[in-house]
A and B are shown apart, each in its own frame.
Chain A
Amino acid sequence: MPENSIYIARSSAIAARALAGEMMVMNSADSTFFTLNEVATAIFQAADGCTPLRDIVRDRICEQFEVDPEQAQADAEQFVTELSAHGILRVSDRPLPAETSQQASR
């Protein structure tokens, strides 16, 4: 396993809902909203805490959306950085334990 692997997990303090093809995510602590496009939604949904981001990009993004792997990885890391800054995703260099989920996702 590469040392620089990034692991991401959805925070338990969020509510998420797919609406007409878009994913809305809300941080329930401060009522901040985010609307995710298809690529961002794929990453968000795959954020299980145990799959490295690199694998998510390779298996869920590059294959489905036919994008350049390096660019996709860079975009994904930027996206992860933004969402973690808003408390939507947890990020670690090692697998993350599951939190008790309170999501309203469906």
Chain B
Amino acid sequence: MTAPQKTACVEIGGIPIALSTTSDSFLELLRQRYDGFLSSSRPEFELEFDLTAPGPGSDDDVRVHHNKNDNDKNDVGAWILERGDFHARWDPHTGRGQVRQNSNPYSLDSVMRILHSLILAERGGFLLHAASAICDGRAYLFSGVSGAGKTTMTRLAPPDITLLTDEISYLRPKAGGYSAFGTPFAGELARPGENCSAPVAALFFLEKGPANRVDELSSTEAVRRLMRNILFFAEDPGLVEKLFAVACDFVDTVPIRRLTFYPDARVWDEVRKFDGHFEPNSNHNSFSNVEGVPEHA
């Protein structure tokens, strides 16, 4: 006799997903991991977990590709998500998927992030490698490579700042701009974000330096940096094109600056000073014939 499925509905970014398992202990892990993001909304999507023997996460590269199994014509269009510690199949048409993984929470987070990146790509949103926080009712994003200062910015935040995430920002188009949502995906801070959202006021690309300073970026440089920091794994040129168009729209809509900062609390004065009035990201004239920089979404 098969054990009954138990379900927790997790709503991140306003997208409720039902996560089902027969394991009581895994259900408890889900509930603890996504506490604050549990929802009673009707799920838009469903993921069913089939657990393997306990094991660690994996440092292997993630692969996300369309199912190429010619023997299953009904499965055309489904996504296969795989890494050393998980293998998942996701059908965007039915909104249902199956995950085979061990009970490691890092594997769970990875599957959830990939799934959300696929859903968002179809809806004009994206996940960004960035910290984000709400200040005076508006969301500020702080992006950069590991060590650039994302977690530092959140640690330095004054008490009236609402943390959305110190690692993975969740962005969706809304009312002529973009909204940032809190996520449970934590970085070094090891603390989930608040489950709330706010319109995006600005995106700062972080660099540490001897003093605080905000500089403009050319639109092309902004798109280049943005694409470099968007989390996207799918091997699908069509979706990459969509993402590029979304990144260009984001740069057209949201002020993007470089924030060089000395790591003390005064950096938040610079953020507060940035009033967020829309100014087109500046044009940087290049006279080179062609400038090619290989990067990956």
Binding site for B on A (CB under 8 A): 13, 15, 17, 19-22, 24, 26, 28-37, 39-40, 75, 78-79, 82-83, 86, 102, 104
Asked whether B290 lies within 8 Å of A15 as measured between CB atoms, the reply is no
A-B pairs with lowest CB-CB distance, top 3: A20-B283, A28-B237, A19-B219
Q: Does B280 reach chain A (CB closer than 8 Å)?
A: yes
A/B pair count, beta carbons within 8 Å: 100
Q: Are B290 and A79 in contact (CB under 8 A)?
A: yes
Closest to A22 in B: B220
CB closest chain-B residue, reference A17: B248
Describe A's contact surface by its main secondary structure.
Answer: mixed
Whether a CB of chain A sits under 8 angstroms from the CB of B224 is yes
**Which of under 10, 10 to 19, 20 to 34, or 35 or more describes the interface residues of B?**
20 to 34
- Bound complex: CA of A17 vs CA of B238, how far in Å? 15
Known contacts A33-B224, A34-B293, A40-B290; 10 additional CB pairs below 8 A are A13-B237, A15-B244, A19-B252, A20-B219, A21-B283, A22-B220, A26-B241, A26-B244, A37-B286, A37-B287
Residues of chain A contacted by B252 (CB below 8 angstroms) = 19
What secondary structure prevails in chain B residues at the interface with A? mixed
Complex Cα distance A22/B281, Å? 12
Known A-B contacts A15-B241, A20-B280, A21-B283; A33 and B293 likewise in contact (beta carbons under 8 Å): yes
Bound-state CA distance A43–B245 (Å) is: 22
Instruction: Report the nearest B residue to A19, measured CB to CB.
Output: B219
Residues in A neighbouring B240, C-beta threshold 8 A? 15, 26, 28, 31
